[in-house]
Amino acid sequence: MKGWTEHHRAVDRLLASYAAIPAGSPVRLAKRTSNLFRPRAATDAPGLDVTGLDGVVALDVDARTADVQGMCTYEDLVDATLPHGLIPYVVPQLRTITLGGAVTGLGIESTSFRNGLPHESVLEMDVLTGSGEVVTCRPGDDLFDAFPNSYGSLGYATRLRIRLEAVPPYVALRHVRFDDAKQAAQALADVTETQQWHGEPVHGLDATAFTPTEVYVTLARFTDEPGPTSDYAGQDVYYRSLQRRETDRLTMYDYLWRWDTDWFWCSAAFGAQQPLVRRLWPRRWRRSDVYHRLVSLDTRVGLSRLLDRVKKVPGRERVIQDVEVPVDAVPAFLEWFDAEVGMRPVWLCPLRTTRAWAGYPLAPGETYVNLGFWGTVVVPAGTPEGAVNRRIEEHVHTLGGHKSLYSEAFYDEDTFARLYGTAALDAVRAVHDPEGRLSSLYEKAVRNS
């Protein structure tokens, strides 16, 4: 636990680093890691010093709240709260996602069908704005309400007070197979509405679509009942268990990080799911941030590009996206996706928001499904940059959905402004960043500045 004195010292360092950035230079974080999947313009300007802003400041077990610094990873946050039988309302699936990043960038996980998105359980937060001030804001304040999906264009959270949920030690899982996406989507809609499955409570809900005729809806029930538990940080791979087991049991800790160990299924690209390689791959390195660093290394050295030339692959496009569409539109999207993109598996995670948010306008109370797909596709030689991703963007919005902005985006500025409510963000920026020290959302998400 950090404590308030240490927190205030860290904030002072942050403010001093802001003051040291020359006028007219870009203001951005000096952080070593990221869960974003879009390029970033290079700069020699010094960044904001976030040293010491990476922990839990205070925990109130009785009130079920925590004061948490913006750079605190969910791994460290869970390590602080779970021994007390508490977790955040939504714990995004990757360990090194930070609380501040999830709130400004819209994290999601299997509790989102009943708890919404991470920002909806925030009680108040301190934000370093573009004017160099730390502003405390709460629900109903313009800065607070515009912050979700702003990706640092309105500032950076230094402290967030969040609500916590009481949980038991175990999670009982049931994997229900459906032969088509329409049936699976209906099950997701029904469980979201009732929070039950055949009379049993459901506390976590997601699904995995392997093929058009093989979709598994996973129903998680939090429980005190002891019993044998599976270990998917070892030799077994979690997503493969969905096809082999109708029921399963995990500790709460392992349930929260079930997807992280193999980066959903993306660890296969590194051979980490091959039995021999897995035995040799240190357990402590079976984690999403390790794979992310390997991807970054490959981007720099170009090994994949060399192999593609050897294999005479004409071209390849990275397709790493999460989109939200209304639950009724899920079958239509997957049918189109199979025809136009052809990437499986696809992760499905239902959610409901509790209120309207200007920067990501989903209808409150309506059930949406997040569809996540991550990998590369072969494209013909000479294909324009981002052609597949552009088609995805266009189709998602014809279905009444939205695309998350943690990865590459290709919108023109007018379309982006209409879809992501940037007029509301600009009004807040005019108050808290009158000199435009921070990049706008469009500059960050599309121009990669």
Please name each of the domains of the chain with its CATH number: 4-167+426-445 (3.30.465.10), 170-258 (no CATH), 302-410 (3.30.70.2520)
Q: Which long-range contacts (CB under 8 A, 24 or more apart) does 355-359 make?
A: 355/120, 357/119, 357/145, 357/148, 357/149, 358/145, 358/146, 358/421, 358/424, 358/425, 359/146, 359/147, 359/148, 359/149, 359/150, 359/420, 359/421, 359/422, 359/424, 359/425, 359/441
Give 69: exposed, middle or buried? Use CB within 10 Å, 0-12, 13-18, 19+: buried
Question: What pLDDT, on a 0 to 100 scale, did the predictor assign at position 358?
Answer: 82
Question: Residues 42-92: pLDDT tens digits?
Answer: 555 678 999 999 999 999 999 999 999 999 999 999 999 999 999 999 999
Question: What pLDDT, on a 0 to 100 scale, did the predictor assign at position 96?
Answer: 96
Confidence of residue 35 (pLDDT cuts 50, 70, 90): low
> What is the chain's length?
449
Confidence of residue 33 (pLDDT cuts 50, 70, 90): low
Question: What pLDDT, on a 0 to 100 scale, did the predictor assign at position 36?
Answer: 59
> Tokens at residue 377, please?
């596709």
* Structural contact between residues 149 and 405, judged by C-beta atoms closer than 8 angstroms: yes
Closest CA to 66 of 160, 139, 134, 136: 160
Q: How far apart are CA 314 and CA 50, in angstroms?
A: 43
Question: What pLDDT, on a 0 to 100 scale, did the predictor assign at position 37?
Answer: 57
Q: How far apart are CA 110 and CA 280, in angstroms?
A: 31
Question: Residues 256-269: pLDDT tens digits?
Answer: 999 999 999 999 99
Q: How far apart are CA 401 and CA 191, in angstroms?
A: 21
Q: Which long-range contacts (CB under 8 A, 24 or more apart) does 352-355 make?
A: 352/112, 352/113, 352/114, 352/116, 352/192, 353/116, 353/117, 353/120, 354/116, 354/120, 355/120
Q: Which of 37-41, 286-290, 338-342 has the lowest mean pLDDT?
A: 37-41
What are the residue ranges of helices labelled H in 302-329?
A: 303-310
What are the residue ranges of helices labelled H in 229-274?
A: 238-244, 252-256
What average pLDDT is seen over the chain? Answer: 93
Q: What is the CB neighbour count within 10 angstroms for residue 9?
A: 14
> Tokens at residue 134, please?
């730390």
373, pLDDT greater than 90: yes
- Mean pLDDT, range 299-303, rounded to an integer: 81
Closest CA to 353 of 363, 343, 340, 338: 363
H or E segment and range at residue 172 = strand 170-178
Q: How far apart are CA 134 and CA 125, in angstroms?
A: 10
Which pTM does this prediction carry?
0.94
Question: Residues 354-367: pLDDT tens digits?
Answer: 888 888 889 999 99
Cα torsion 138, 139, 144, 146 to 10°: value is -170
Question: What pLDDT, on a 0 to 100 scale, did the predictor assign at position 299?
Answer: 82
Q: How far apart are CA 42 and CA 124, in angstroms?
A: 33
432, pLDDT greater than 80: yes
Q: How far apart are CA 347 and CA 373, in angstroms?
A: 7
Question: What pLDDT, on a 0 to 100 scale, did the predictor assign at position 301?
Answer: 83
Question: What pLDDT, on a 0 to 100 scale, did the predictor assign at position 370?
Answer: 98
Question: What pLDDT, on a 0 to 100 scale, did the predictor assign at position 313?
Answer: 84
Question: What pLDDT, on a 0 to 100 scale, did the predictor assign at position 43?
Answer: 58
Closest CA to 373 of 298, 316, 304, 323: 323
Q: What angle do CA 297, 76, 253 make, to 5 degrees?
A: 100
* Structural contact between residues 262 and 283, judged by C-beta atoms closer than 8 angstroms: no
99, pLDDT greater than 80: yes
- For the chain, how big is the Rg over CA atoms in Å? 21
